[in-house]
Structure 1
Amino acid sequence: MKRMRCTKSNCLLLLLPLVFILSACSPSIRVNTEPAAGFQLSNYKTFAFYEVDASGEGLGNAYEPQVQYLQQEIAGQLENKGLTRATSDTDLLINLGIVVNEEVQTRQTDLRSDPPNYIGQRRYTWRSREVEVGRYKEGTVSVHLVDNDRNELVWQGNAEAILKSKEVKLREQIARGVEEMFREIPQ
């Protein structure tokens, strides 16, 4: 049996499918940010949370601890960038929008190719329909940074993902999403 030598090109070809498989296993967080013209975070020294607007049928009754954890993560990111959390007379106000919807995953029962020529002797009908195969929650977080003196939106970021059902995994997902969002903020 001849051994294959691992060169740069053939090792890359062997590892490429593994990378695709692993990336397919980890759910993605879609992040979108948009700064106002001329916005620099370094122009601000203090921040405070102003308003939380939460909605959606998938939110549930026990969402408050997750909102508090989200605020902790955002505060941590801003403090790492040199801002200080204040209770009054603050430079930046943070508005949070949270929407959690419960979605239904379905598949359609249809004949994708040509229908069969012989169905059987009994008279029965068959029709295409949607069959529920699972339920999941999809969440969106919107973060708006507002200049308190001018009452003007200076930066906004959104993060969307299919939410983890276990609390520990959900918190990891929140932390990763906030980190990705604030990675793109202009310093």
Structure 2
Amino acid sequence: MRKIIKLLPIVLVAIVLTSCSSVKVAADYDKAVQFDNYKTFAFFKSGIDKAEISDLDKRRILRAIEAELMAKGYTKSENPDLLVSIFTKSNQRVNIYNNAWGMGAWGWGGGFGPGWGWGWNNQPNVTTSVQGMLFIDLIDADKKELVWQGQGTGYLSKNIDKKEARIKEFVSKIMEKYPPGMDN
């Protein structure tokens, strides 16, 4: 029974961490637009330049968007139907986990041998994580109007290989919502 009680906090933290690993997505669009009329795209440089992320991450995101649109049958063009823009937001989260239960914890009781103790040695665990939001905007090139916006929210990695995979996951999950009305 003691082993189960000792493992319970670890299991709970693992559940919380794994539930945070997915990308949550949402999309909004103009219902009056006929999305099947769009066949070509280009990147909206002035909009992309405003995104407050590194140029390396911008290129990673743009490559992933380009791959997704091309997989959907779109062609990159100098005279596009759609302009693609992005912007990002991020929040650093501080997670504090205190494994002391109640007033004390089972262990060494005040230096007098095993028994009930006050948990003085139980220091809280502090971790930080970065939660990022990626917005992908699709703009009608002729009207210069936003026609579709996808948003993804999730946790980011500082590891370069994991970051690249995570960016692809963000873009892929967001672009599953485009075009609207399909069985996404």
Shorter-normalised TM range: 0.5 to 0.7
1:64 matched residue in structure 2: 55
1:98 equivalent in alignment to 2:88: yes
1:44 matched residue in structure 2: 38
2:146 matched residue in structure 1: 153
1:31 matched residue in structure 2: 25
Q: Which amino acid aligns with 2:84?
A: I
2:134–2:170 Cα contact (<8 Å) kept: no
For 2:102 and 2:84, the matched residues in 1 are separated by 50
Task: State the TM-score, normalized to the length of structure 2.
Answer: 0.68
For 2:170 and 2:34, the matched residues in 1 are separated by 21
Q: List, as ranges, runs of 4+ consecutive aligned residues in structure 1 with deviation greater than 3 Å.
A: 38-41, 107-114
Task: State the TM-score, normalized to the length of structure 1.
Answer: 0.67
- Closer, same or farther: CA 78–40 of 1 in aligned 2, 3 Å: farther
- Closer, same or farther: CA 107–24 of 1 in aligned 2, 3 Å: closer
1:81 equivalent in alignment to 2:81: no
Give RMSD over aligned pairs. Answer: 3.0
For 1:106 and 1:156, the matched residues in 2 are separated by 34
1:95–1:144 Cα contact (<8 Å) kept: yes
2:51 matched residue in structure 1: 54
Unpaired runs of at least 5, structure 1: 1-19, 115-119, 121-130
Residue 40 (structure 1) shift: 4.1
Residue 65 (structure 1) shift: 1.1
For 2:170 and 2:74, the matched residues in 1 are separated by 20
1:170 equivalent in alignment to 2:152: no
1:35–1:185 Cα contact (<8 Å) kept: no
Unpaired runs of at least 5, structure 2: 1-13, 105-109, 111-123
Residue 103 (structure 1) shift: 2.4
